[in-house]
Amino acid sequence: METTFHIVEHQDLTFMRICIFGAGAVGSHFAVRLALAGHDVSCVMRGPHLEAVKAKGLTLRVDNAEFSARVRASDDPAALGPQDIVISTLKATGLRSLAAGLRPLLCDDTAVVFAQNGIPWWYDIGLPPDQPPPPDLAFLDPGGPLRAAVSPQRIVGGVIFSSNEIAAPGIVVNDSPERNMLLVGECDDRAGERIQRLRTALDGALIQSPAVPRIREAIWTKLISNMSVSVLCMLTAKTARAAVEDPALQDVVSRMLDEAQSIARSCYPDATRGSGAAPIHRPSLLQDYERGRPMEIDALVRAPQAFARAAGLVTPTLDVFAALAICRARDKGLYQDKAI
């Protein structure tokens, strides 16, 4: 796949102005692909990564191949102008910066794609009536700045399947060359031209984006792994594959995945864990812990716990994982408890 990746001429039907808001590892990867596919790509980023991108552009490494693209980049969204699509690849812990900086990027019909791990802040917005109501998730948007900044008609849900890490400022390494996917869907699950146009743009950039009938079910499918394997990696400092394949942990992994799947199925009876080998990759939760960054424990662990309680499910393994993860993160100053 990567050996045939090249710049293509854009067509009026698919060319878009796309802003990646919070272009870290995943966002930078997607920015390179979209730029090389002919889109007008800009990035909101900061620090040494921003300075490197301004000076030399963005570089994506996949296996032994390397791809570079020039993108407009700034830590000030107002410098980038109105966009057709804003794709937020911020972690849940960083979304307040989007609420504060989004307005200059918006046209009347700009969509905002929330491509993040875990239960999203907008979960209850546009929820179709045939789907079970969620518990109170106000702790995912304390004070409501995201609801104030993003109107419901702009919200597009996103689910990322792609393993990446910033190797150096301006350089991102992709650890999953055979699986780079961004699933997208309207928050009310309706089909429409906007989603089809976005999916066409992603597919044209070699970012797989198959149709999904219910975006929240796709969120839960990924979350089954995130709330189990990713948390275990954070606790053990192992890669996902090493954690899953460690004989001493296999029973724990199995029980945790069973509990996670039971929570998902309380909302979507057909939800199931993903298949295939776990990647040789350090999940973002572990990367954040090691690098002293705020951690997505609320979206990845505490929100699923709230769903379990609402459904009357007993989740002893998840509860232990949650307590240990919270203690480790809090003791390092990377998490503050919030009431549920």
Residues marked active site are found at 222
245-277 burial: b if 16+ Cβ within 10 Å, else e:
eeeebeebbeebbebbbbbbbbbbeebebeeee
Rounded CA-CA distance 249/243 in Å is 7
Rounded CA-CA distance 4/160 in Å is 23
Rounded to 10°, the helix 250-267/215-225 angle is 160
In the β-sheet with 65-69, what is the strand arrangement from edge to edge? Answer: 65-69, 58-62, 171-174, 164-168
How far, in whole angstroms, is CA 94 from its chain's centroid?
Answer: 12
Q: Nearest 10 degrees: CA dihedral of 222, 223, 229, 232?
A: 160
Rounded CA-CA distance 327/325 in Å is 5
